[in-house]
Amino acid sequence: MPCLEKLVCIFVLTLLCPSACIAQEKSVKPGINESFRDPNPTEFLGRFEVESREVFARRKEIVAACQIQRGQTVADIGAGTGLFTRMFADVVGPDGRVVAVDISQNFLDHIQKTSREAGQQNVDTLLCKADSSELPAESIDVAFICDTYHHFEFPQKTLASLHRALKPSGRVILVDFRRVPGTSTDWVLNHVRAGQEVFESEVIQSGFRKTREVAGVLKDNYFTEFTKSPSPGLKPLEFPIIAGFGGVVIVPNAVENPRPGAKILLDVTVESKAGDVSKGLDRAARLLNLYGAAGLKSSDIKIVVVLHGEATKCALNDEFYQPRFGVERNPNLPLIRELRKAGVEVFVCGQALNYKGFPISAVTKEVPIVGAALTVTANRQMDGYGYLAIP
């Protein structure tokens, strides 16, 4: 970034968020929410839930990128007509909960009605204030903010309320417009008060750390993830190679560190609840992140993962997974893709598929089928791979 732009950015940040501890008494964008004080939800359906709106057209990809787990509690901040509220309600399942948060009671009434009509009993609504989400302390796992952050009139106060509301290591998902002078539309430049760098800085100053940015899903918007910083005395998790999975802590002066050239076979049979990411796949991500934390690359280690036993279902495609386990999509597939990008080989046992009654057509094309996990284990050990069981 040119020096002049850096100085401008620092000046803006000084004005907007001089300190997370100093209360904001003035709105940073007065009047931006006037149209939402008494809205007609039916009219807004034509603005919010249309294909011309990028976040609606890419709604399935956005929800998948959020990596929401079954049984979690998600707060949809600025829920509007309830588009993502309803989608999250399906993802978290009957044991989970979605809280639609908005400044408009009209929107909340609409969400309550439509979610009940859809048979979703796990949706609650909450009327918030301009400077507070009004969520109880440590009550949510994820705060989802889509095309809403630029409507925060008191961002530091609202972020402070979200920080309190999140459980330890809870996450904030921020989706908002790219605001780039000379590239963005006049509407974005006039409507959105600041760009991604300023918004991210405000979130970080409120006690969060950026853990992930998803590329390739959105063009006019960006998708970033932040994690609530740990309590004093706990070190933050790092994700140097695989973002969002297998977090590790940096251990200074450790007596045994990763060395280049290792070859590891992970024999994964561990059970995981439908909707949860496999502990075995997460362990592979952690192994890679340990190498990254030591300053090494993913190419400095060879990892093979073979799935069988109760872990066989991790390799199923979304079309088969959804009706079989009652979850919208297989939560393991995004991690499998990231592992493959990092050079990890992932296989599924053909014998286990047959034993579990899973047809070959149900396996994602991203996971090759081997004759037997036993064969892979024997072959790779002959090739010098160390064996680690994840039962």
CATH number, domain containing residue 124: 3.40.50.150
Same domain (yes/no): 214, 304: no
Stronger pLDDT, 126 or 43, i.e. the higher one:
126
**2: in domain:** no
The answer to pTM > 0.85 is no
Same domain (yes/no): 64, 182: yes
Per-residue pLDDT, 233: 65
**188: in domain:** yes
CA gap 232, 235 in Å, rounded: 8
Same domain (yes/no): 210, 326: no
**Which residues are CB-contacts of 321 (< 8 A; sequence separation ≥ 6)?**
313, 327, 329, 330
Same domain (yes/no): 62, 207: yes
Domain encompassing residue 358: 262-390
pLDDT per position as a tens digit, 263-314 = 999 999 998 877 778 999 999 999 999 999 999 999 999 999 999 999 999 9
Q: 363 - beta bridge partners?
A: 316
Longest dimension (CA), the chain: 70
Number of separate domains in the chain:
2
**242: in domain:** no
Q: Is residue 4 predicted with pLDDT exceeding 50?
A: no
Same domain (yes/no): 53, 124: yes
Mark which of 204, 228, 252 sits at the end of a domain. 228
pLDDT per position as a tens digit, 105-141 = 999 999 999 999 999 999 999 999 999 999 999 999 9
Question: What sign for the dihedral angle of Cα 294, 296, 298, 303?
Answer: negative
Place of tokens 């809205």: 39
CA gap 160, 208 in Å, rounded: 10
**139: in domain:** yes
